[in-house]
Amino acid sequence: MSVRARLEAGPFDPSAELANLIEAASSDGAVVSFVGVARPQSEDGANLDRLVLEHHPRLTLKSLEDIAVEAAERFDVSQVRVVHRCGEIAAGEPIVFAAAASPHRRAAFEAADYLMDRLKTEAVFWKREEGPAGANWIEPTEADYADRGRWE
Protein backbone atom coordinates (compact mmCIF):
# COMPACT_ATOMS: atom_id res chain seq x y z
CA MET A 1 0.00 0.00 0.00
CA SER A 2 1.33 3.41 -0.96
CA VAL A 3 -0.57 6.65 -0.36
CA ARG A 4 0.86 9.97 -1.44
CA ALA A 5 -0.59 13.48 -1.47
CA ARG A 6 1.28 16.57 -2.64
CA LEU A 7 0.63 20.30 -2.84
CA GLU A 8 2.24 21.96 -5.88
CA ALA A 9 2.84 25.71 -6.14
CA GLY A 10 3.76 25.46 -9.84
CA PRO A 11 2.63 23.50 -12.90
CA PHE A 12 2.90 19.71 -12.82
CA ASP A 13 2.74 17.05 -15.50
CA PRO A 14 -0.20 14.65 -15.07
CA SER A 15 1.18 12.24 -17.66
CA ALA A 16 4.38 11.86 -15.61
CA GLU A 17 2.28 11.29 -12.48
CA LEU A 18 0.31 8.60 -14.30
CA ALA A 19 3.45 6.95 -15.67
CA ASN A 20 4.91 6.78 -12.15
CA LEU A 21 1.72 5.30 -10.79
CA ILE A 22 1.50 2.65 -13.53
CA GLU A 23 5.08 1.67 -12.76
CA ALA A 24 4.33 1.43 -9.02
CA ALA A 25 1.19 -0.60 -9.74
CA SER A 26 2.91 -3.28 -11.83
CA SER A 27 1.41 -6.07 -9.70
CA ASP A 28 -2.13 -4.63 -9.93
CA GLY A 29 -4.75 -5.05 -12.63
CA ALA A 30 -6.22 -1.54 -12.82
CA VAL A 31 -5.17 2.11 -12.70
CA VAL A 32 -7.79 4.89 -12.81
CA SER A 33 -6.84 8.56 -12.92
CA PHE A 34 -8.68 11.87 -13.07
CA VAL A 35 -7.22 15.23 -14.14
CA GLY A 36 -9.06 18.46 -13.34
CA VAL A 37 -8.23 21.39 -15.64
CA ALA A 38 -8.77 25.14 -15.14
CA ARG A 39 -11.68 26.18 -17.37
CA PRO A 40 -11.37 28.96 -19.95
CA GLN A 41 -14.93 30.11 -19.19
CA SER A 42 -17.03 30.52 -16.05
CA GLU A 43 -20.45 28.89 -15.57
CA ASP A 44 -22.13 32.01 -17.03
CA GLY A 45 -19.89 32.02 -20.10
CA ALA A 46 -17.47 34.82 -19.12
CA ASN A 47 -13.91 34.38 -20.37
CA LEU A 48 -11.36 33.50 -17.68
CA ASP A 49 -7.63 34.11 -17.55
CA ARG A 50 -6.85 32.13 -14.45
CA LEU A 51 -8.02 30.36 -11.34
CA VAL A 52 -6.49 31.37 -8.01
CA LEU A 53 -6.38 28.77 -5.24
CA GLU A 54 -5.65 30.30 -1.87
CA HIS A 55 -4.48 27.72 0.67
CA HIS A 56 -3.85 27.39 4.40
CA PRO A 57 -0.22 27.08 5.53
CA ARG A 58 -0.84 24.04 7.72
CA LEU A 59 -4.25 22.59 6.99
CA THR A 60 -4.37 22.32 3.19
CA LEU A 61 -1.79 19.56 2.76
CA LYS A 62 -3.21 17.77 5.79
CA SER A 63 -6.67 17.80 4.19
CA LEU A 64 -5.25 16.23 1.01
CA GLU A 65 -3.42 13.59 3.04
CA ASP A 66 -6.48 12.77 5.15
CA ILE A 67 -8.69 12.33 2.06
CA ALA A 68 -6.08 10.12 0.35
CA VAL A 69 -5.64 7.93 3.46
CA GLU A 70 -9.39 7.55 3.91
CA ALA A 71 -9.76 6.47 0.26
CA ALA A 72 -7.05 3.86 0.80
CA GLU A 73 -8.79 2.56 3.91
CA ARG A 74 -12.22 2.44 2.31
CA PHE A 75 -11.48 0.68 -0.99
CA ASP A 76 -9.48 -2.38 -1.97
CA VAL A 77 -6.69 -0.32 -3.55
CA SER A 78 -2.92 -0.66 -3.38
CA GLN A 79 -1.97 2.87 -4.47
CA VAL A 80 -3.57 6.28 -4.00
CA ARG A 81 -2.22 9.54 -5.42
CA VAL A 82 -3.35 13.14 -5.07
CA VAL A 83 -1.46 16.08 -6.57
CA HIS A 84 -3.14 19.47 -6.14
CA ARG A 85 -2.08 22.89 -7.36
CA CYS A 86 -2.25 26.07 -5.31
CA GLY A 87 -1.68 29.70 -6.29
CA GLU A 88 -2.35 31.06 -9.77
CA ILE A 89 -3.37 28.50 -12.39
CA ALA A 90 -3.72 29.63 -16.00
CA ALA A 91 -6.80 28.50 -17.93
CA GLY A 92 -6.04 25.13 -19.49
CA GLU A 93 -3.51 24.07 -16.85
CA PRO A 94 -4.10 21.00 -14.68
CA ILE A 95 -5.40 21.71 -11.17
CA VAL A 96 -5.60 18.24 -9.70
CA PHE A 97 -4.50 14.67 -10.36
CA ALA A 98 -6.39 12.03 -8.38
CA ALA A 99 -5.69 8.37 -9.02
CA ALA A 100 -5.79 4.88 -7.59
CA ALA A 101 -4.57 1.41 -8.50
CA SER A 102 -6.16 -1.87 -7.48
CA PRO A 103 -6.18 -5.58 -8.29
CA HIS A 104 -9.59 -5.19 -10.02
CA ARG A 105 -11.01 -2.13 -11.78
CA ARG A 106 -14.13 -1.38 -9.68
CA ALA A 107 -12.19 -0.38 -6.56
CA ALA A 108 -9.91 1.95 -8.52
CA PHE A 109 -12.87 3.64 -10.27
CA GLU A 110 -14.68 4.10 -6.96
CA ALA A 111 -11.59 5.38 -5.14
CA ALA A 112 -10.93 8.02 -7.82
CA ASP A 113 -14.58 9.10 -7.76
CA TYR A 114 -14.51 9.28 -3.95
CA LEU A 115 -11.27 11.27 -3.95
CA MET A 116 -12.76 13.92 -6.22
CA ASP A 117 -16.06 14.19 -4.34
CA ARG A 118 -14.16 14.73 -1.10
CA LEU A 119 -11.63 17.12 -2.65
CA LYS A 120 -14.40 19.29 -4.14
CA THR A 121 -16.02 19.88 -0.75
CA GLU A 122 -13.31 19.31 1.88
CA ALA A 123 -9.86 20.13 0.49
CA VAL A 124 -8.85 23.37 2.21
CA PHE A 125 -8.71 25.85 -0.67
CA TRP A 126 -10.53 29.05 -1.49
CA LYS A 127 -11.08 29.35 -5.20
CA ARG A 128 -11.36 32.55 -7.23
CA GLU A 129 -11.89 32.85 -10.97
CA GLU A 130 -10.30 35.88 -12.62
CA GLY A 131 -10.94 37.26 -16.09
CA PRO A 132 -11.38 40.50 -18.04
CA ALA A 133 -14.83 40.98 -16.40
CA GLY A 134 -13.43 40.74 -12.85
CA ALA A 135 -13.02 38.17 -10.10
CA ASN A 136 -15.52 35.77 -8.56
CA TRP A 137 -15.21 33.45 -5.55
CA ILE A 138 -16.31 29.87 -6.24
CA GLU A 139 -17.80 27.72 -3.50
CA PRO A 140 -19.08 24.15 -3.62
CA THR A 141 -22.53 23.82 -5.20
CA GLU A 142 -25.45 21.87 -3.75
CA ALA A 143 -24.65 19.22 -6.38
CA ASP A 144 -21.07 19.01 -5.02
CA TYR A 145 -22.39 18.50 -1.47
CA ALA A 146 -24.89 15.89 -2.77
CA ASP A 147 -22.06 14.05 -4.55
CA ARG A 148 -20.09 14.06 -1.32
CA GLY A 149 -23.17 12.73 0.51
CA ARG A 150 -23.25 9.60 -1.69
CA TRP A 151 -20.35 8.18 0.33
CA GLU A 152 -21.87 8.59 3.80
Partner 1 sequence: MKIHFYGRLAESVGRDIEVDVPESCSVADLRELLATEYPRAANALGHRVRALVGDMIVADSHIVRPGDSVEFFPPVSGG
Contacting residues toward partner 1, per CB under 8 A = 36, 53-54, 56, 58-59, 63-64, 84, 95-96, 98, 116, 119-128, 137-140, 144
User: Shortest gap between Cβ of 116 and partner 1 (angstroms)?
Assistant: 6
Least Cβ distance, residue 23 to partner 1 (angstroms): 25
Give the whole-angstrom CA distance, residue 78 versus residue 101: 6
Closer to partner 1 at the Cβ: 30 or 124?
Answer: 124
Residue closer to partner 1 (CB basis): 93 or 122: 122
Q: State in angstroms the smallest separation of the CB of 1 from partner 1.
A: 23
DSSP, residue by residue, 10-74: S---HHHHHHHHHHHTTTSSEEEEEEEE--SB-TTS-B-SEEEEEE-TTHHHHHHHHHHHHHHHH
